[in-house]
Each structure stands twice: as structure tokens, then as C-alpha cells.
Amino acid sequence: MTESDTAPLFHHPDRNLALELVRATEAAAIRAVPFIGRGDKLAADGAAVDAMRAFLGTVNFDGVVVIGEGEKDEAPMLFNGEHVGNGQGPACDIAVDPIDGTSLTAAGRQNALSVIAVSDRGTMLDASSVFYMDKIVTGPEGIGVVDIRKPIGENLRALAKAKGKDVGDMTVAVLDRPRHAQLIDEIRAAGAGTRLMLDGDVAGGINAARYETRIDMCVGIGGSPEGIVTACAVRALGGLIQGIMAPKDDVERQKGIDAGLKMDYVYEAHELVNSDNTFFVATGVTDGGLVEGVRRMGPIIRTHSVVLRSKSGTIRRITADHLAAKWLEE
């Protein structure tokens, strides 16, 4: 029996934490609304960061930011290593993305989210030294069937067989980037369709792992922080995620090695997040396939959120109405 087996329950994140975290993602999403379609992604992100951090400060937990805003957004707050929460309650690793899809928000496009992921302290892989990761995500049918090292066509045929579908009925989510031109051609050559994402591959990965969506697989190179966040959700959904670090040059590769990351190595879900008690919380900023965006409806502001917890294997959807006057007063 390990120390963690005998530790008091309050040392670990419990079910009440999820509802507290939703308040933070709701706040970030609401504060981002005035910037939707205004072309200023930094202003949108800044407003969301301020709101999320303020609400996290009231939550009953001792969180350490493992995946934060960091260097990518030159953020002064919610940086890697920052402590958040009131310092009481469970000790946790936390990954935050006040807006996953700042460009989407600025352009007024779909699928922008405010996201928080949490796990037991010391269980999240700190992949911040290498910004990109090659990833593949599927639902439970992909476990033991799909392998990121195999050609995409082979993976598609194997997954289609496991799901009892024709390859022609398969849809693969891929970030629409020049680096993925050959991958997209290979997916289409195999007979499958593509869902090209302008940004925000967290939503793409989660939709690939969920059973009721039209997305069967999410593949390609995206942010490694987003990979860790997605892994927290995938563990709750029982799906498959694999990742390989994709440093942009030899300098970043060595930086990753110095930080303890393995290169040319396939990270499985339990290595990205080594905890069976993960939380994933997301509130829609703009409408998308995972959740609807924030809506102003007369005197109220309506938010839509999703909460995933791996320990209980539950998916909860939360619709909240906020008095607009309360937000305008602040």
C-alpha cells in the first residue's frame, strides 16, 4: 500500500472542486465577450486572464500552475509555477487556458473556450519547454488499435473497423496549417473526410474522444500545453491520446531534454497525466461543437459549460444564468 492509498480524502481533489472551477471559466468567458470579433486577441486574452485569476484566488485548493499562459502570450499572471487558490484544501496541479482560441475570439469565429484542467499534485507532465506536440486522439475504440507511429491511412482503416464504419464515413479533425498539407492529403486519399480547425485543438481532441460527435479522430501537431489539457479530458472520457514532442529546432530539442522530456517517444495518456482523478472544465466563449457560447438575454448573461471527471467517469453540462447588472457593476 502506497502513501497515496492511505492519505486522507481531503488531500485529493474532490467532486465539489469542479463546481468551484466552473465559476472561474464562466468569469473568463463572460469577460471575453466584449472583445469577440473586435480583432484584438491580446485584449480578449488579458480580460479573460484577469477574471480567471481573480476567481481562482477564492477556490479552496492549493494549486500550482503547470500549464499556464507562460511565454506564448507574454502573460504576467497565471504563469508556470504560480500558486493559485486560497492555499487550503487539496494540493493540485492545474492547467489553464483562459481562452483556447484567442484568434477565434478576435475574429468572431466558433469553438473558442475558457478551460481549466486539474489533477493530483505532481501528476501533470510539464511539457512547457517544448511548445509543440504531435498528437492523435480517438474514443475508446482506438485503444490498442490506433498507434501514432503508423501511417494515417492504416490508423483510419483500423479505427473504422473497430467502430463498425466505412472509412468513407470517418471524419478527422486537423488544424488548418501549412505543416499539415501532406497529412490532410493522406487522410483524403484514404477515403476519409477532414474537419479543418482554424485554432483550438482542445475542442477537436475532446470531440474525437466523445461518442456522440461526428469527429472520429483528431491528429496533427499542436501545442503541447493543449495536449496535457486534452489528456485530462480524455482520461475522463476513456479515450485514447498519444503524443510525441515536436521541437521546432535543435535548441528547443535540447531544452526539452534538459527539462527531462523524452524525444522521439510516444507519451500515452497516463504519462501525460498520471492521475485517475482528473478534472476538465470548459465554458464556451463562442458557439462550438462542445458547448455553446456566452449569450446576453435581456437582464441575464447565459453561459454553457461542460465538466468531466475521470474518477467518476462523469460528464456534466452546466447552464448558468448570471444577472448582467452584477457584472456591469464590477
- Our CA angle for 133, 136, 140, nearest 5°, is 140
Residue 73 C-alpha cell reads as: 502570450
Q: Is 329 annotated as a binding residue?
A: no
Which domains are assigned to the chain? 16-122+278-326 (3.30.540.10), 132-272 (3.40.190.90)
123 is in an annotated binding site: no
76 known ligand binder? no
In this prediction, residue 47 has a pLDDT band, given cuts at 50, 70 and 90, of very high
> Which comes out higher in pLDDT, residue 78 or 270?
270
Looking at residue 262, the DSSP 8-state letter turns out to be P
| pLDDT band per the 50, 70, 90 thresholds, residue 327 | confident
The annotation status of 8 as a binding-site residue, yes or no, is: no
pLDDT value of residue 314 = 84
Is the pLDDT at 26 greater than 90? The verdict is yes
Query: Phi and psi (nearest 5°) for 320?
Result: -125, 140
Q: Per the annotation, does 201 bind a ligand?
A: yes
With beta carbons less than 8 A apart as the criterion, state whether 243 and 270 touch. Answer: no
- Is 199 annotated in a binding site? The answer is yes
Query: Any binding-site annotation on 3?
Result: no
User: For the segment 192-234, what is each residue's pLDDT rounded down to a tens digit?
Assistant: 999 999 887 898 999 999 888 899 999 999 998 889 999 999 9
Report whether 120 belongs to an annotated binding site. Answer: no
DSSP state, 258?
H
- The answer to whether the annotation marks 177 as part of a ligand binding site is yes
Residue pair 237/145 in contact by the 8 Å Cβ criterion: no
Q: Is 45 annotated as a binding residue?
A: yes
Contact 59, 86 (CB under 8 A): yes
**Angle at alpha carbon of residue 243, lines to 175 and 146, rounded to 5°:** 90
Q: Is 101 annotated as a binding residue?
A: yes
Give the chain's end-to-end CA distance (angstroms, integer): 50
pLDDT for the residue numbered 105:
92
Residue 205 assigned to a binding site:
no
Q: What's the pLDDT band for 33 if we cut at 50, 70, 90?
A: very high
Q: Is 100 annotated as a binding residue?
A: yes
Cβ 275 vs Cβ 311: under 8 Å: no
Q: List, for residues 69-86, the tens digit of each pLDDT value.
A: 654 445 456 777 888 888
